[in-house]
Amino acid sequence: EAQEEARPVTDLFSETTAVAEQLERAEAKLKRAEAFKMPEIEKLREEVERLSIRFKKLERELQVTTSPSPPEDAPPERSRRPTPKVRTGFRRNGKRLTEADWEHLVGYAETMTSEEWDGLFDQLGSEGREKFFEVRERLRLLKQAEEGGK
């Protein structure tokens, strides 16, 4: 476990993203199996559960790694409920948007004019905007952690 703590943030982020993608694929397979009452439903449920637990663990570890430590003289922080990961049904070319797609969109949005920005946000709706800001904040924290580690 001490080895996990020593992992660079970029490795942790990559692993978290990979597990999230595996979880999305497993959930899709499980949905199909349930819809068609296929015999491998139980095996897929176990896989989804295993990946879900791993993803949550990695997400917590990434959050701890990228969160700045409070000063020793700071008052204790009230416990906060972790923010749930926003899942959206947005699709591109018939496929659900991946985390990488959202990250690309966040990067591209920084080059947009204010009119393009307004149009994008109208198209995304409240659920999409929430996901957009979640990804933007995660990328900001990752960048901040990388710059602090140099």
Residue at token pair 């990328």: 139
State how far the Cα of 88 lies from the Cα of 97, in Å rounded to an integer.
Answer: 8
In Å, how far are 12, 17, 63, 85 from 82, measured between CA atoms? Answer: 18, 18, 9, 9
For residue 74 the two structure tokens come to: 């700071």
Under 8 Å between Cβ of 51 and 19 = yes
What pTM did the predictor assign? 0.45
Tell me the average pLDDT of the chain.
Answer: 77
For residue 105 the two structure tokens come to: 């969109």
Stronger pLDDT, 146 or 66, i.e. the higher one: 146
pLDDT tens digits along 41-81: 999 999 988 998 988 888 777 667 655 555 555 555 443 43
